[in-house]
Amino acid sequence: MPTIDDQIGDPTTSEGFTYSPIGSWFLGAIGGCPDCALPSRGDAFLGSFHGSFFSAQNPGTHVTPPTASVKFTGSSVAVICILSGSNTSLPSNLAFDIDGVQQGTFAHIPTGSAQFLANQTVFARNNLTSGQHTLVIQNANGLNPSFVMLDSVIYGDSGGFALSPTTSQPAGSTTPASANSRHSNSLKKSTIVILTTVILVTVVTLIVLLVFWMRRRRRTRRIPSHEPDLTPFGKSYASSTAEDGRDPTRFSESHSDSNTISSSRQSYLRQELREAQSKIVDVDDLERQMLSPHRIRGRILRLIPPRTPSTLRKNLRDATAQLTSARARNEELMARIRELEIQMQSPWALGLSDEPPPGYSREEEA
């Protein structure tokens, strides 16, 4: 059966997952839960998985539930995940849509076991109309907290997909056979295809590099390079004058290749997004460190002289003020992250317009 891996997609059709919102899914980690325990690479198909955590009450996660969508062609489909058994406070509550219609849900509550359950079929649907479909996996069913490690999706036309015995029953899923053996066979076939492709690409690359090196040795003079320095707002163009007399500040005239412009601008916005995400503070952990009674007795009270309750009160006020400041800063960072996510889909970021996004002036672009 064809398999769509969470990282490399489908090697036969090049279809891959689309994860949203940006920053809510992490490769080999759990978006929104940096302290969560992780399975070994051997538990995942091709050694990779995408994880996310959603909680409407947690300011560290996005305000909308994370989704992973993918297209497939066939009449049957199954979703494979890795389930956690250790943390009973992190259940899985998933919903599955096909072509805009909800086809099932899934719920799993960890038992407290230290083991991970690999290669678990959490959703199976057969007897679809044969053709192209869009599957959307939502990491939340309602507002309940939800934790997921997405591994892969398998599909085809022969049917026979069913849930794993350890998983909960999603709504409307009816098939008699297990998808696990099919998934194992698909894994072997996909691995062979991938290894063959990698070997061929490596050989071709080595040949091209060898030819390039031999031609370079024959050169009698060096050809100067005039590659422009693409910056998101074109500052490098404003500091120099083109030899042909054209205005270098006009980004669209100097660089008509919209794909290169889009890549540069997208890279800039992604860097801004990563910087904003890295500055978000775990306020709950900070509060435990600063206001825990044991830490106050063990750390703060040793630093103040006896009979000075006002000093203790001042320390507590300072700690509370720092927590308030951290929460406010988190809200500003979350607003900035949402703004950057919107800007990444703007005509400017896609290379369709030279009009900079809100918050950037024409002087900055020039």
Q: Are 273 and 348 found together in one domain?
A: yes
Q: Among 117-131, 197-211, 264-278, where is mean pLDDT lowest?
A: 264-278
Confidence bin at 217 (pLDDT 50/70/90): confident
Confidence bin at 135 (pLDDT 50/70/90): very high
Q: Beta partners for 95?
A: 105, 138
Q: Is the pLDDT of residue 357 over 70?
A: yes
Q: Are 166 and 108 found together in one domain?
A: yes
Q: Are 31 and 155 found together in one domain?
A: yes
Query: Which residue from 169, 136, 128, 131 is spatially nearest to 153, judged by alpha carbons?
Result: 136
Q: Is residue 300 part of a domain?
A: yes
Mean pLDDT for 188-214 is 89
Task: Write the pLDDT tens digit of every residue in 144-173.
Answer: 788 899 999 999 998 788 888 765 444 444
The more confident residue out of 184 and 307 is 184
Q: Are 189 and 298 found together in one domain?
A: no
Phi/psi of residue 215, nearest 5 degrees: -65, -35
Q: Is residue 30 part of a domain?
A: yes
Q: Are 108 and 87 in contact (CB under 8 A)?
A: no
Confidence bin at 140 (pLDDT 50/70/90): confident
Q: Is the pLDDT of residue 93 over 50?
A: yes
Mean pLDDT for 43-55 is 92
Q: Are 177 and 314 found together in one domain?
A: no
Q: Is residue 263 part of a domain?
A: yes
Q: Are 244 and 180 found together in one domain?
A: no
Confidence bin at 179 (pLDDT 50/70/90): very low
Q: Are 247 and 181 found together in one domain?
A: no
Tokens 């072997």 — which residue?
188
Alpha-carbon torsion, ordered 259, 264, 269, 274, to 10 deg:
120
Q: Is residue 70 part of a domain?
A: yes
- Structural domain span for residue 270: 235-365
Q: Are 73 and 12 found together in one domain?
A: yes
**CA 249 vs CA 52, 236, 260: distances in Å:** 42, 9, 17
The C-alpha atoms of residue 132 and residue 338 are separated, in whole angstroms, by 32
Mean pLDDT for 16-30 is 91
pTM score above 0.75: no
Phi/psi of residue 116, nearest 5 degrees: -100, 145
Q: Is residue 225 part of a domain?
A: no
The C-alpha atoms of residue 11 and residue 187 are separated, in whole angstroms, by 11
Q: Beta partners for 54?
A: 146
Q: Beta partners for 84?
A: 116
Final residue belonging to a domain, choices 195, 226, 259: 195
Q: Are 185 and 329 found together in one domain?
A: no
Q: Are 159 and 256 found together in one domain?
A: no
What DSSP letter does each residue of 110-175 carry, written as one string?
Answer: --S-S-EEEEEEEEEE-SPPSEEEEEEEES-STTS-EEEEEEEEEEESS------TTSPPPTT---
Final residue belonging to a domain, choices 146, 169, 195: 195
Mean pLDDT for 306-321 is 71
DSSP reduced 3-state for 140: coil
CB burial of residue 362 (10 Å; 0-12, 13-18, 19+): exposed
Query: Which residue from 64, 47, 42 is spatially nearest to 6, judged by alpha carbons?
Result: 47
Q: Are 253 and 349 found together in one domain?
A: yes
Q: Is residue 210 part of a domain?
A: no
Domain count of the fold of the chain:
2
Final residue belonging to a domain, choices 174, 195, 216: 195
Question: In the prediction, which pLDDT does 238 show?
Answer: 38
Q: Is residue 213 part of a domain?
A: no
Q: Is the pLDDT of residue 10 over 90?
A: yes
- Residue 216 is inside which H or E element, if any? helix 180-218
Q: Is residue 201 part of a domain?
A: no
Query: Which residue from 184, 284, 194, 267 is spatially nearest to 232, judged by alpha carbons?
Result: 267
CA 114 to chain centre: 26
CATH number at residue 62: 2.60.120
Q: How many CA atoms lie within 13 A of 58 on its CB side?
A: 23
The C-alpha atoms of residue 205 and residue 213 are separated, in whole angstroms, by 12
The C-alpha atoms of residue 155 and residue 249 are separated, in whole angstroms, by 51
Q: Is the pLDDT of residue 119 over 90?
A: yes
By 3-state DSSP, what share of the chain in percent is helix, strand and coil, each rounded to 5? 35, 20, 45
Q: Are 155 and 252 found together in one domain?
A: no
Beta-carbon contacts of 237 under 8 Å, excluding residues fewer than 6 positions away, are: 228, 248, 249, 251, 254
